Amino acid sequence: MPSRSPRSAAALALQAAELAVAVPQVMAHRMTRMAIAGPSPSPRDRREFTRMVAEKNTAFVASWQAMTAQAVVANQAFAATMLRSMWTSPWRAPTPVAAMTQMQEAALGVFDKGMAPVHRKAVANARRLAKTRLR
């Protein structure tokens, strides 16, 4: 399994920070829109509210699928490492530190793959909703 470079770990941190900024912006816009719409939302508001639910479902399904696929890849790599260690001499076998590093990298990879679809949708919504006017 390739090791994670510091640049990609930093990119993951940046992606998390962008998500932490975009989500409250989108929520504030949509909650304000719901409050203004009241009990009888306009057709435009209904489209936005329907879109809100549909895109959440789509983003989270994509996220779970990506995390599952990455977890399978990580488990295969970890199993291959364990099998390889049984066939190598004891002084060339992977150390416990190397195994823990591989597990940590695998966890970060799963997190990265899972966050990508949610990040993509939230940031796009923040940009799109920043351009729209509330009544």
In-domain check, residue 3: no
Does residue 4 fall inside a structural domain?
no
Alpha carbon separation from 93 to 75, 100, 104 (Å, rounded): 18, 14, 19
| Residue 15 belongs to some domain of the structure | no
Determine contact, residues 77/1, Cβ cutoff 8 Å. yes
Task: Say if 91 falls within a structural domain.
Answer: yes
pLDDT in tens, the chain (135 residues): 455 555 678 888 999 999 999 999 999 999 999 999 999 999 999 999 999 999 999 999 999 999 999 999 999 999 998 888 888 877 777 788 888 888 989 999 999 999 999 999 999 999 999 998 776
Domain that holds residue 123: 20-32+45-131
Q: Is residue 11 domain-resident?
A: no
Please indicate, yes or no, if residue 27 is contained in any of the structural domains: yes
Output the pLDDT for position 121: 95
Asked if residue 109 lies in contact with residue 70, where contact means CB atoms within 8 angstroms, the answer is: yes
What is the total count of domains within the chain?
1
pLDDT at 49: 92
Residues in the chain: 135
CA-atom Rg of the chain in angstroms: 21
Q: Is residue 2 part of a domain?
A: no
What pLDDT, on the 0 to 100 scale, is given for residue 89?
A: 79
DSSP letters of the chain? -PPPPHHHHHHHHHHHHHHHHHHHHHHHHHHHHHHHHTTS--HHHHHHHHHHHHHHHHHHHHHHHHHHHHHHHHHHHHHHHHHHHHHS-GGGSPPHHHHHHHHHHHHHHHHHHHHHHHHHHHHHHHHHHHHS---
pLDDT at 133: 79
